[in-house]
Amino acid sequence: MAKNTFFVTGTDTGVGKTMVSAAILEAAKTAGLSTLAMKPIASGCDETPDGLRNEDALALQKAMTEDLAYDVINPIALKPAIAPHVAAVQAGKTVTAQRLIGFCRGLQIRPADLMVVEGAGGWRVPLNERETYAALPRELGMPVILVVSLKLGCINHALLTAEAIRSDGLQVAAWVANRAEPETMSCEQETLDYLMGHMAAPCLGVLPRLEGPEPDPAELARHLDLAHLIEKI
C-alpha cells in the first residue's frame, strides 16, 4: 500500500501543478523512494492511436518510478480543453466525487513510498452541480501540497486557498512557489518573505522559470527540499 499520499492543488489554473508534481516525483526518486501518481480527471486530451491522452498525465507517468497503465493514471480523459465539469457534460459523462475516490483507493493499495494525486484548477473546481474536487482529498484525508504562482495577487490567493483547505479539515502539508509567469513579478522577494511568514506550512522550494515547451522536471527537482515530506514517510 502507498505509505503516504499527497494531493496537489493550486491557487488557480495554469500555476504549474503538473510540473511541481513531476518535480516532487523526481526529487523523491533521487532520494531513493518508490513513487506513484495519478491525475484522476483531465480535460484537454488529444486523440491518439491509443485513445485520448493528456500531456499532464503523461508527464506524471514519465516521472514516477512504478509502471502504470495510462488508464490507471488518468481514468477520466476528456477532450475539450475547458473546465472538467463542463467537459464531462459535453462528453456525455457523469463525474462524481465517489467515482474519483474509488479510482484513488484502487491505486493506493499498490506498494510505494510516496503517491501524488494532482487535482484540476484550484481548490473549489466543480465536478458537477453539487460537488467540488475538494471532496476527494477531504474524503480520503489527504494532506495537501499547494502550488503558488508568483504573480501580483498571489498572497491573497495563497492565504485564501490555505484557509479553505484547513476549513475543510485538511492539513496544508507544504507549499511550492512557482515562477509560472513569463515576467518576474515586482517585489518578488518581499512577496516570498511574507508568504514564508504567514502560510503556516513549510515551503518545499522556489522554482525557476525554465525556457522551452517542456521544462525538465529533474532540473526543477534540484530546487526542492523534500525533507518535510520524507520525514513523514
Known catalytic residues are 39
Q: What CA–CA distances, in Å, run from 107 to 104, 111, 112, 224, 226?
A: 5, 9, 10, 25, 22
Among the listed residues 2, 3, 1, 4, the one whose alpha carbon sits nearest the alpha carbon of residue 171: 4
User: Across the chain, how many H-helices and E-strands are there?
Assistant: 10, 10
- From the CB of residue 146, how many other CB atoms can be counted at a distance below 10 Å? 28
CA-CA distance, 16 to 21, in Å (whole number)? 8
Sign of the C-alpha dihedral computed for residues 82, 161, 152 and 205 taken in this order: negative
CA-CA distance, 43 to 22, in Å (whole number)? 18
Q: How many angstroms separate the first and last alpha carbons of the chain?
A: 12
